[in-house]
Amino acid sequence: MLKGTYRVKTGFAEMFKGGVIMDVTTPEQAEIAETAGAVAVMALERVPADIRKQGGVARMADPKRIKEIMKAVSIPVMAKCRIGHTAEARILEALGVDFIDESEVLTPADPFNHIDKWQFKVPFVCGCRDLGEAARRIAEGAAMIRTKGEAGTGNVVEAVRHMRILNDQIRRLRDMSRAELVSYAKELGAPVEVLEMIQELGRLPVVNFAAGGIATPADAALMRMLGADGVFVGSGIFKSSDPEKRARAIVLATTHYDDPELLAEVSEDLGEPMPGVAIEEIPQEQLMQYR
């Protein structure tokens, strides 16, 4: 009997496909997410919009908070650790969280390296802005990828940018000869073996969700149209005026993304969405995606 194998990790991520993973900060929010049809919740102390507003160092959530959320719901519970913070990741693994997000939304802990994720039984999801970043994270053992977008903005433009870049680069990779692939690996800073695998499959070898700025059912549907296997919604649900209704609408829109009539129906009368931020208004050093 083998635990924590790559197949067990990536296989678990396959189960999320077509689904919505929602940020929650309390057991009550977790229950709302479960009732609305979330496939998993992300247990946090502050949603990205608040992290952005309050500033300071954002760290792993209090284990007590995470345990309360794990107790409240039957669906999988994810939690975030800082980039490169192996000790936070070990703590989350010991708590029994089902997935760790090594996330740029928290303040990075290691200026040089990400976590060596092969050393863990628990699977990891990591963010990417392009194919090079995705391939490096996969080489480090990530069992799932998400495009980063710009978290806490309620603005989908960066999520779209990252998904379009990724799609375009995979499309170019498909037609490359071996020699071109090696040179492309150098350009991207990506391992040759991972690019070979992606070339053969014609897609990433792991599930790829969209994240960072998704605030409406239409945003979720757009990301699915661009090829995302599912979506993470951070601040978009519990920073809106009617979280229950919006959560359910986003779940339905993620599944039925190519049914415009249904999208029109679920988008109706959802109350106020979270307030959005124009990316140009954010000082460069406060953008989370470059972490």
Tell me the CB-side half-sphere exposure of residue 213, using CA atoms within 13 A: 23
CB of residue 136 to other proteins, shortest distance in Å: 24
**CB closer to other proteins, 75 vs 226:** 75
272 bridge partner residues? none
Q: What are phi and psi for residue 227, nearest 5 degrees?
A: 110, 0
Query: Which residues from 70-99 bind other proteins, rule CB under 8 A?
Result: 74-76, 93, 96-99
- By CB under 8 A, is residue 19 in contact with other proteins? yes
Cα 73 from Cα 34, distance rounded (Å): 7
**CB closer to other proteins, 15 vs 57:** 15
Cα 123 from Cα 136, distance rounded (Å): 16
**CB closer to other proteins, 43 vs 252:** 252
78, exposed or middle or buried, with CB in 10 Å at 0-12, 13-18, 19+? buried
Residue of 80, 117, 148, 239 with catalytic role = 80
Which amino acid does the sequence have at 77? V
CB of residue 122 to other proteins, shortest distance in Å: 5
Task: Answer for the pair 132, 269: CB distance below 8 angstroms, yes or no.
Answer: no
What mask of x and - would describe binding to other proteins in positions 27 to 46, judged by CB under 8 A?
Answer: -------x-xxxxx------
Give the residue among 124, 101, 106, 102 at the shortest CA–CA distance from 48. 106
Cα 231 from Cα 62, distance rounded (Å): 25
Give the residue among 87, 131, 90, 83 at the shortest CA–CA distance from 111. 83
Query: Which residues from 220-259 bind other proteins, rule CB under 8 A?
Result: 248, 251-252, 255-256, 259
| Placement of tokens 């719901």 in the chain | 73
CB of residue 77 to other proteins, shortest distance in Å: 8
**CB closer to other proteins, 74 vs 284:** 74
> Residue 78: enclosing H or E segment and its boundaries?
strand 77-82
Question: Per CB under 8 A, which region of 14-22, 126-134, 144-152, 214-222 contacts other proteins?
Answer: 14-22
Task: Answer for the pair 203, 141: CB distance below 8 angstroms, yes or no.
Answer: no
Identify the three-state secondary structure at position 116: coil
Selected from 12, 124, 184, 209, the binder of other proteins by CB under 8 A is: 12
CB of residue 60 to other proteins, shortest distance in Å: 17
What mask of x and - would describe binding to other proteins in positions 94 to 133, judged by CB under 8 A?
Answer: --xxxx---------------------xxx----------
CB of residue 184 to other proteins, shortest distance in Å: 27
CB of residue 18 to other proteins, shortest distance in Å: 4
121 belongs to the catalytic site = no
Give the active site residues: 80
Residues that bind other proteins (CB under 8 A): 1-5, 7-8, 11-12, 14-19, 34, 36-40, 74-76, 93, 96-99, 121-123, 248, 251-252, 255-256, 259
